[in-house]
Structure 1
């Protein structure tokens, strides 16, 4: 793909979270949410782990002796990907898992929703009603909301595939060659060299640091999505328009938007986030 390296992230149950991230980013930062959802949005989650190098360091020092890439702090910043649309493994094959998608259930999905809205300064009393409205919208459009107290996908095909284009000059900053469960695959490290070579990419995982400072910069990262449910796939742009309209009610004034944007882009004191600055 010329200047871009491409990664493929399969998911299912987290789809409403990704969609809300995208809608909020559209309202506050002009993100083109009609093109694709957004895996992560809170900059503060990346204060200690802004890039692949810091993630590898933390994995070796902390996560490898615990739950590896299932550790909460790992999941906050990184997503699992394959390096080819026809990847056969290890552990997952993109064509096989597309319909159902890949997901874990040991996550408080509704808590993630409420934490995001709280970070945007939505009043505490309005958090649960806001989540209920979002869930109802997901149900109307056929997006699986079963982990949020709503209905599952009607078609039984809740899977989605996020196509992640990373400019080659940023690949090693944002990604690393991974074994199942997140350890570095030294045979393909650094991953940029492996991808730039005449390598067979249909076998091998990667982990991508979904830092919003990079993912909201189209010069660095571009995203596209395909959904296994044909109705949702065809109507996703309409769904996003309605979701943006719903969430815009919570950012009704320029001051509301400024305060929410400042909260989302704020990092912890002393943090050194990598990658381009968020577009404002």
Structure 2
């Protein structure tokens, strides 16, 4: 990951110095051919004419890298997998998956502060989330272990995948996350996915969560999705055509984007036909 950071930092610096070179050349040309022009007379000794465009160029390059380069994606048959940086609560035109506890408790002292569940309580209010979970308990029936709800125009899917013990501590196991993911993908007849698109965070890695790295959990999510897709046919079809795994900004440098891109391509080129 350090190598990738160094390369991206180099790209940002190069963008800045490249802009300085362009502005310097422009000013030299203007001074040679139009020495009395206002551009030359007003800015000849003004260093800001070089610094400001350079800084803007570096900022634009920084935003571009985060938005478009820090990602891994692959299209396999008629569906797409994308791993990207962002805030999942700002995602639109699809269903947002939120990992929650199996007890469907929404009490603040039983929800990790940094979790998406907690962010939703803070954003939409405790009373609203209590009502959502109260209704959700009625929606979970039979083999389907998740429930969905629209909140202020956004579609959410709540996926139980952790447990609260007698002392109130929350714990998540790799096995429970796999079971929850498999249940979601296998029971897609109950899934409502606008634009056949889902957004899923790196679930189960918050406080008291999984010990595997975030990189490994991303792979677990993809493997579970691919496992279902391999068995899909005309009778068992997938409503999910685009799966977006959204990496929060605090975790963006815990992902080896180069390795992940290569691994994802291997799933397409080799493992899909295994």
Q: TM-score range by the shorter chain?
A: under 0.3
Q: Of Structure 1 and Structure 2, which has the larger fraction of its residues in helix?
A: 2
Q: Which has the higher contact order (CA 8 A, sep 6+)?
A: 1
Structure 2 length-normalised TM: 0.26
